[in-house]
Every structure is written in C-alpha cells, then in structure tokens.
Amino acid sequence: MADCIGGYAGAGRLRAQTPARRRAAGIDRAGDRVRRILAEHRLEVRGKQVVIKPNLVEYDPQTVINTHPLLVHAALEAFRSMGAAEVRIAEGPGHRRGTLDLAEAAGYFEAIPGFEDLFTDLNLDETSHIHLNRPFSRLDSLYLPRTALAADLLVSMPKMKTHHWAGATLGMKNLFGLVPGGVYGWPKNVLHWAGIDESIADLQRPFPHVFTIVDGIVGMEGNGPIQGKPKPTGVIVSGSDRVAVDATCCRIMGIDPQKIRYLRLAETLGLTEEGNVRQVGEAVRSVQTTFELIPEFSRLRLR
C-alpha cells in the first residue's frame, strides 16, 4: 500500500500573505499543516541532511508558476523542528540563469529569512557522473548535483500544474530541476531530445529517498507550466510514494493517471491504481477540481 496524505482546509488563504502579520499567520497555519503531514508519515529525519527542492521556473506577477515560498518556509521549519542536522533549499531553473534574481522576484528572499545562505543553485553545483541502469530514455548517464545526491532525504515540492508536453507536472517532473544547466545548458534540451516522459522516469532512480509535498493551493491549468491560468484548488498532497502522489494529484485535476506516459513507465517505483493508495485526509472526490487541458491533451481526461 502507498501513503498519500492531503491537507486542504483553509490552505488557499496562503496566496495573499503580504503584510507582516498576515505572513506570520500564514506561516503558522502552513507550518502546523506540514508538521501534521510529516507526523502522519512518521518521517525520521533527526540528525539527517534534508534538501528541499521547490519548483522555481519563471516569474510573472499575473499568474502562479512557482511553489509558494510560504509553504517552502513551513517545510523548512518543520524539518528543523524534527531535528534534521541540516535543511537546505536547492533548485536549478531551466529557463533563467540568474537563479537568485528569480528567487527574489518570486518572494523567496522576503518569505524565508536567510534564504541566500540556505540556498544551493543546482545549475552550478559540483556534480558526479551517474550511470543510469536500464534507462527508458536515450541517456545512459547523467551528471547530477552532489548536494542532491548526498541528501538523506530529498523533498520534492512542486506546484500542481498542467504541462503542454507531459500532460501534468508534479513531484516526479520536478526533478528536472536537478539536472545542471552548467553542464547541459538552458533550457536543458538534452532531456527533451532523450524523451521527456522517459527522462522523467529515469531521473527517479538515482534518488531513492524522496518525499513529495505538492503545492495545490493555487495550481495552474491550460497551457502550463508557465503560460497557463491560475486554478484555485486548495489542496496539499503529500506522500513517500512519489508515483502514488502524482497519480492522486492527477485524479484531483481530473486527469487519468493511466494515460500519463511517465507514470506508466515508472509504475515499478510505486502504485498508480487508486485502490492501492492508502488515502489519509479528504477523499479525492471531495476535492476534485477539473483542470482545463490544451486540446492536444483532451484524451487525458478522467472519465
């Protein structure tokens, strides 16, 4: 059985936290929710190295592209309170070379005290050459950042979004940000040339210890992951089985996970069948919010 926990009530209020008092209240609510989620999963991180990997892609003040910085801060503080030896935030955007400029525009400097000291730019991190065993893609190896490889626990924190090539971008697709632009260039076309779905599946194997927390407070529908429209959904979906988490998110979005190619490829890593996922929290159908899809992906609709 796979665990997938959702926390939903009141989460949507996080979007508008700008004055200091509201921001503090938002952190408290998000922090309580994240701590409860981690407690439900009985994650043991005391004395361990934790790396939080948000989805930091592009900035547009008119929409919601990136993982909300308040949620990332809440996770940071939750893991610290659980006794982690070190908690870092790390990302390697595929579009922007100025990662810190992007993070500042997206509100990370304001929301997370000492952000710059806590942050590793994975595009510029030292790398190790990793052989891919029986790859699905055309790749047989990748240079990957040592900060992520050395983590005892990698926490994937994506934004819940549609994707104009993969159908949906969630916890597993979020690992594209681990592939260093300093080695492969921007926008990391090596993964596209090798096969996007296949590369998503291949990237899971070098990182066996992953916990996923999906920011579905306000997602993105339509022409995601950058040019879509905000989709208020009011959910946080999490779990230690990344395939089950992504499959659950798809169902919430009104997408059939069996029609998402990278999930079919990665089924050996987890479970996509709804009956095999132990759901804790609100039932999927009670929070299901149909996301608009581009016409090319209308076939993905959950029936």
* CATH label of the domain that carries residue 80: 3.40.50.11440
- Report the mean per-residue pLDDT for the chain: 89
Please state, in angstroms and rounded to a whole number, the distance separating the CA atoms of residues 73 and 69. 6
The two tokens of residue 170 are 């969630």
CA-wise closest residue to 126 among 140, 109, 143: 143
pLDDT over threshold 70, residue 20: no
The two tokens of residue 51 are 């790396």
Residue type, 68: H
- Cβ(136)–Cβ(195) below 8 Å: yes
SS3 134: coil
pLDDT over threshold 70, residue 142: yes
Residue type, 221: E
pLDDT over threshold 70, residue 112: yes
- Mind giving me the DSSP string for 37-101? HHHHHT---TT-EEEEEE------TTS--S--HHHHHHHHHHHHHTT-SEEEEEE--SS-S-HHH
pLDDT over threshold 80, residue 6: no
Mean pLDDT of 153-167: 98
Angle at Cα 90 formed by Cα 85 and Cα 92, nearest 5°?
160
**pLDDT 10s digits, 47-73:** 999 999 999 999 999 999 999 999 999
Please state, in angstroms and rounded to a whole number, the distance separating the CA atoms of residues 198 and 261. 8
Please state, in angstroms and rounded to a whole number, the distance separating the CA atoms of residues 255 and 169. 12
- Cβ count within 10 A of residue 158: 31
Position 17 scores a pLDDT of 29
- Cβ(141)–Cβ(197) below 8 Å: no
CA-wise closest residue to 233 among 108, 64, 25, 77: 64
Position 51 scores a pLDDT of 99
Mean pLDDT of 237-260: 95
Position 173 scores a pLDDT of 98
The two tokens of residue 172 are 């597993």
pLDDT over threshold 80, residue 145: yes
Strands (E), 178-268: 210-221, 229-239
pLDDT over threshold 50, residue 208: yes
Higher pLDDT, residue 282 or 295: 295
- Residue 276's pLDDT band, with cuts at 50, 70 and 90, is confident
pLDDT over threshold 50, residue 107: yes
- Cβ(99)–Cβ(91) below 8 Å: yes
User: How much of the chain exceeds pLDDT 90, in percent?
Assistant: 78
pLDDT over threshold 80, residue 84: yes
Per 3-state DSSP, the chain is made up of helix, strand and coil in percentages (nearest 5) of: 40, 25, 35
- The CA-to-CA distance between both ends of the chain, in Å, stands at 24
Across 29-43, 167-181, 245-259, least confident range = 29-43
- Residue 275's pLDDT band, with cuts at 50, 70 and 90, is confident
Position 18 scores a pLDDT of 30
Please state, in angstroms and rounded to a whole number, the distance separating the CA atoms of residues 108 and 72. 9
pLDDT over threshold 90, residue 280: no
83 Cβ contact partners less than 8 Å away, ≥ 6 residues apart: 45, 46, 47
pLDDT over threshold 70, residue 217: yes
- Mind giving me the DSSP string for 138-160? S-SEEEEEHHHHT-SEEEEE-EE
Position 283 scores a pLDDT of 87
Higher pLDDT, residue 277 or 246: 246
Length of the chain: 303
Domain hosting 34: range is: 2-300
In which residue are the tokens 């581009």 written?
294
Position 28 scores a pLDDT of 59
Tally of domains in the chain = 1
